[in-house]
Structure 1
Amino acid sequence: MKKISVVFLVIFVVLAALHQDAWNWSSSYLIFGFMPVGLAYHALYSLTAALFWGIVIKFAWPEDLEQWAEEGEKNSTP
């Protein structure tokens, strides 16, 4: 396993653990005066997860799989 894959796996496990935000369940604090803190937390969490998966795709996508798919397209074109 590549070193970068191990780093991504560790970050994934940390993000999975942070997804369970039990500390915000009983909080009545509002962000910007209208958004519950739990909702704001999950909005930021969703953006962080999307950014993380975008980076994973950019750096950990298997290039040999991509080459195999492109070769298949070239061979099937009449």
Structure 2
Amino acid sequence: MKYLVWGLIAFLVVIHQDVWNWNNDTLVFGFIPLTLAYHAGISIAASVVWLIAATTAWPVDSDDSTGDLVAGDVVASDSSQESSI
């Protein structure tokens, strides 16, 4: 699945280059320039690709390397050391 995500990212990079569309004065829905609508579509597609990447190709153990220490535990241990001094 990781290769599919990388392929979709490469595809988005390639279709993002729209030099063929710079001089097009066509309006979409009567008020949005075609180039702006094109880039809005690419932005939506990029968010879908990110969703696919986050749900399927995200490493499983990357968040578990921080350990079991919680912020409240740090505060509790610091305050107990101060009271013993």
Distance in 1 between residues matched to 2:39 and 2:10, nearest whole Å = 17
Q: Which has the larger radius of gyration?
A: 2
Other structure's SS at 2:25 match:
coil
Q: What is the total number of aligned residue pairs between the two structures?
A: 71
Q: Which residue of structure 2 lines up, in the alignment, with residue 13 of structure 1?
A: 10
Q: Which residue of structure 2 lines up, in the alignment, with residue 24 of structure 1?
A: 21
Q: Between Structure 1 and Structure 2, which shows a larger proportion of helix residues?
A: 1
Point out where structure 2 has 5 or more consecutive residues left out of the alignment.
74-85
Q: Quick one: which amino acid aligns to residue 18 of structure 1?
A: I
With normalisation by structure 1, the TM-score equals 0.82
Distance in 1 between residues matched to 2:49 and 2:4, nearest whole Å = 12
CA RMSD, 1 decimal:
1.1
Q: Which has the higher contact order (CA 8 A, sep 6+)?
A: 2
Point out where structure 1 has 5 or more consecutive residues left out of the alignment.
none
